[in-house]
């Protein structure tokens, strides 16, 4: 048997013998001819087989052709097969202008005839059978886009002399809020699943690494069922030394996203248009910047009063300010800056002129927060006092506070949710659609 060729490479081949493998998408079993649409990881191709319904002893190979005809008639949707046959270019074939005339067919694994999900199945049902759901071209494209996006981010980091780190996901104490920690047994004691790589990104600054990044899992024990929350998610993090303010972090964030969006548009723009019905735009720099207090005033003038009393935006407020930015600046992104210290972690640096504010930001994309960034506090005495204000015990943070007792440059960084970016990029309604295997308060399988 000749070497397998993936479907996307067939068009460049000349007519002749070829072997393809994939799963059965459709079968049209007509009296005189059979058509099978075979799909693999790269695309779909039409297989054609002149049907033989009975053995003709005067025709050589008649028995083999009958066996092939019967095998095709019995094929269930989703069965994996390998076919060797003759590749033929024919512009009359709607599916790519090529087809393969079947010579031999091997059923690698037969599928159950009744599939558990359909095109109109609920999202929860589709997630129960995620491996089948992911066979759909639209769903599979999401993860090719994710691959391209992550590769572009990593290329930007490498080109700009960042160091990649892999931080531990088991911690002895909280990095932010103890209320959102998953506690696990750890030999004779307790450990916690990391909410973010925050502490260890900062340790790298004390180590003199200068610029670091990580793409890895993070965990939040948040019993939320919204379309944008998960208990386990992929966090995209970066931290840099020698900054003057959070403005340096925002500039890094812009450059990184432009690199990622450019790569996705260049490689997948046509497919995104075809399967998602959207024209992906690469954001222009600089992204708009609006202090939070001003953003809240703008939202109020648009007729929406933010009900929260904790100085933060709520989801509707985020949608309203995003709409304003789109109308005013024609931009899908906006940095909301100068958040109150009362709602920011203890390690965010306070504003030098107004201690009630922090040198921090949230990045809003298409009306949803995707990231938080900030300049970090690097003075250990200030860190101790701010931790106490947040109800944290400095004794439990000694390992972290030690990072700042032996010299550390001014630094800052951000953490960004990968699934939220993909969800908003593709105009999907839930991160469940763009997460390979979603984890939430009521989902631990598959």
Residues 103-154 pLDDT 10s: 999 999 999 999 999 989 999 999 999 999 999 999 999 999 999 999 999 9
CB proximity list for 37: less than 8 A, separation 6 or greater? 24, 25, 26, 27, 44, 45, 46, 47, 95
Whether the CB-CB separation of 264 and 425 falls below 8 Å is answered with yes
Q: What is the mean pLDDT of residues 73-99?
A: 96
Residues 290-323 pLDDT 10s: 999 999 999 999 999 888 766 789 999 999 999 9
User: Using CA of residue 94, residue 98, residue 103, residue 107, what is the dihedral sign?
Assistant: negative
Q: What is the mean pLDDT of residues 253-271?
A: 98
176 is in an annotated binding site: yes
417 is in an annotated binding site: yes
443 is in an annotated binding site: no
Q: What is the mean pLDDT of residues 44-60?
A: 89
306 in the Ramachandran plot: left (φ > 0), alpha (ψ -120 to 50) or beta?
beta
Token representation of residue 62: 């008649």
333-337 and 411-417 strand pairing: unpaired
Token representation of residue 342: 């009362």
Residues 198-231 pLDDT 10s: 999 999 999 999 999 999 999 999 898 999 999 9
379 is in an annotated binding site: no
150 is in an annotated binding site: no
Superfamily of domain 7-109: Nucleic acid-binding proteins (2.40.50.140)
pLDDT at 309: 61
Give 260: exposed, middle or buried? Use CB within 10 Å, 0-12, 13-18, 19+: buried
Whether the CB-CB separation of 28 and 35 falls below 8 Å is answered with yes
Indicate the pTM of the whole model: 0.94
Confidence of residue 177 (pLDDT cuts 50, 70, 90): low
pLDDT at 327: 98
CA distance 73 to 35: 10
pLDDT at 138: 97
Spell out where 138-288 has E strands: 163-164, 170-171, 183-186, 189-193, 211-219, 232-241
Q: What is the mean pLDDT of residues 266-273?
A: 98
pLDDT at 174: 65
CATH number corresponding to 127-425: 3.30.930.10
Residues 383-431 pLDDT 10s: 999 999 999 899 989 999 999 999 999 999 999 999 999 999 999 999 9
Domain assignments of the chain as residue spans, ordered by start: 7-109, 127-425
Q: Which residues of 408-431 are buried (b: 16+ CB within 10 A; e: fewer)?
A: bebbbbbbbbbbbbbbbbbebeeb
């Amino acid at each position: 048997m000749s070497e397998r060729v993936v479907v996307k490479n067939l068009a460049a081949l000349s007519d002749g013998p070829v072997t393809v493998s994939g799963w059965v998408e459709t079968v049209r079993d007509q009296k005189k001819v059979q058509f099978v649409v075979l799909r693999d990881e790269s695309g779909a191709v039409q297989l054609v087989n002149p049907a033989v319904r009975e053995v003709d002893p005067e025709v050589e190979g008649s028995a083999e052709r009958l066996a092939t005809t019967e095998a095709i008639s019995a094929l269930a949707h989703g069965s994996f097969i390998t076919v060797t046959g003759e590749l033929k270019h024919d512009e009359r074939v709607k599916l790519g202008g090529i087809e393969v005339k079947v010579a031999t067919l091997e059923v690698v694994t037969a599928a159950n005839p009744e599939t558990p999900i359909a095109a109109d199945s609920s999202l929860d049902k589709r997630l129960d059978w995620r491996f089948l759901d992911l066979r759909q071209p639209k769903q599979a494209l999401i993860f090719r886009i994710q691959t391209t996006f992550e590769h572009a981010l990593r290329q930007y980091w490498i080109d700009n002399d960042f160091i990649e780190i892999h931080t531990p996901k088991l911690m002895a104490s909280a990095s932010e809020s103890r209320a959102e920690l998953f506690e696990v047994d750890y030999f004779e004691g307790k450990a916690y699943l990391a909410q973010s790589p925050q502490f260890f990104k900062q340790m790298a600054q004390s180590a003199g690494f200068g610029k670091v990044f990580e793409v890895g899992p993070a965990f939040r024990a948040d019993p939320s069922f919204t379309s944008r929350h998960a208990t386990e998610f992929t966090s995209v993090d970066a931290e840099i030394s020698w900054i003057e303010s959070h403005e340096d972090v925002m500039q890094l964030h812009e450059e990184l996203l432009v690199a990622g969006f450019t790569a996705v548009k260049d490689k997948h723009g046509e497919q995104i248009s075809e399967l998602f019905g959207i024209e992906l735009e690469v954001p222009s720099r600089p992204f708009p910047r609006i202090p939070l207090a001003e953003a809240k005033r703008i939202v109020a003038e648009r007729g929406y009063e933010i009900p929260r009393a904790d100085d933060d935006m709520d989801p509707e407020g985020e949608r309203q300010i995003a709409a304003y930015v789109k109308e005013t600046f024609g931009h899908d992104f906006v940095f909301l800056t100068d958040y109150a210290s009362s709602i920011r972690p203890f390690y965010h640096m306070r504003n030098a002129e107004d201690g009630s504010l922090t040198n921090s930001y949230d990045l809003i994309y298409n009306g949803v927060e995707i990231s938080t960034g900030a300049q970090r506090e690097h003075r250990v005495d200030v860190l101790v006092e701010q931790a106490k204000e947040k109800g944290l015990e400095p004794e439990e943070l000694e390992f972290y506070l030690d990072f700042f007792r032996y010299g550390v440059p001014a630094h800052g960084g951000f953490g960004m949710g990968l699934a939220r970016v993909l969800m908003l990029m593709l105009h999907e309604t839930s991160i469940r659609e763009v997460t390979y295997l979603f984890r939430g308060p009521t989902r631990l399988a598959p």
